[in-house]
Structure 1
Amino acid sequence: MSYTVYGTVNSRAFRVLWMLEELGQPYELVKAGPQSPEIRAVSPLGKVPVLVVDGVVIPDSMAILAFLADRHGAMTYPAGTVERARQDAWSYRILDEIESLLWTASKHTFVLPEDERVPDVKPACRAEYERNLTRIMAEAEGPFLMGETMTVPDILLAHCGGWARAAKFPDGPEAFGDYLKRLRGREAFKAAAAR
C-alpha cells in the first residue's frame, strides 16, 4: 500500500498530511498548487488535495480523511454507530459553519477574478465565524470535540483555526486558543508542518 498526496502544506492538503502522520503511514508528497499541470495530470478538477492510493485518485480533503480513518480504524468511530453519526455531524458542521466562511472570504480576496470580488462580504464572514466558533467550543465535550478521543473533525477544526489566523479572522474564545495549542503540540502535527 502506498499513498501519494498532491498539494502543499499551506492548503487543505495539510489535513491529509497530518492524518497520515497521526496514523504512522508513509507517504510521498508531490508539491502541486491548485490548477497546476501536476494536479491536472491526476485530477481534472484541478483542486488540492488529491490522494492517490493503489493507482486510484481520491479528491477532496474530507473524503480522504474519512477514507484513511476507516481504512486504518483510527481517529473515527465504526460506521453505523451512533458515535459515528455524531462524529460526522461535527465534521459537516465544521465544513458548513467554519470552513465555508473562510473559503468565501478567500474567494473574495484572491481566488475570484478581481471584477467578481465583493470585499464587503468579509466582515460578515468574520462575525459569523466568531459566533459559530464560540458555540462550537461551548459544545465541545473535552480536550477534543468528542471528549477524550481525537477524531477527524478535530483535524478539520484545527486546520481551519490556522487558516483563520492567516486570514485575520477573530481568535475566538480562550477555549479555542487552548484547543489549538493542544493539537498543534502533537508530534504528528509538527511532522506534517515540517514538510
Structure 2
Amino acid sequence: MGVALRLVVLLLVLGGALSACDAPAVGLALSPPAAVVDGHEISMKTYQARLAVSRHRDPFAGIPEAIPSPAPTQRLEDFTIEQLVREEIVRQEAEKRRLSVSDQALKSRIDSLRARAGATAFSAALSRNGFTDDSFRAYERALLTEVGLIQAMARDRAGSAARVGAMTPEPSRVAAIPAGSGPKRFPSPRWRRPCNHSKPGV
C-alpha cells in the first residue's frame, strides 16, 4: 500500500511539473508577423516603426488622384508593407552575394549625416519624420544594402560585357579590304562571229 501511495504522489508531481512547463507557452505567444518573405518574417514591431515614419512623411500628400484609392490609412499601410517587403527582397539578394553592411559602416554613415546637419537639427529632423534612433538605423542599413547591391550588379554586367567582347571573333579580313584594292578582275572573253574583211586594193 505504501508503494502504491508513493507512485500516486510521483504521478501527481510529474503532472504538476508538466503543467508548469506548458502554461507559460500560452502567455508567451508571439504576435503574428506583418509579412513573410521567402520564409523570413517581418515583425510587427518593424512594421509599426516604419508606419510611424510613413504617417509623418505621407508620400501621397498633395498628389491628385485620377483613380479613387483606398482610405488614406489603408493606403499608407499598404505603402509601408510594400516598402518593407521590397527591402527584405533586396536584403536576401544581397545575402546571396555575401554582401552586408557592417555596424561600423552604418555608424560612419549616420555620424556623417549628423555632423553635416548638426546634432540638434539632426535629432529634430528624426523626430519630425517619425524616426527613432533604432528605426533610422534600420532604414539606413536597408538603403546602404540596396546601394551595395546595385553596385555589385553593375560590376557583374560590366564583367559580362567584357567577357562577351573578348569572345567575339575579329571581322573577316576579306571584308575589311577596301573596294578596289583587291585583285583585278577582267571581263570574260566573248567569241565574235567571223566576218569578211575586205582586203585593201592593190
Check whether TM > 0.5.
Answer: no
Q: Which has the higher strand share?
A: 1
Q: Which has the larger radius of gyration?
A: 2
TM-score (norm 2): 0.25
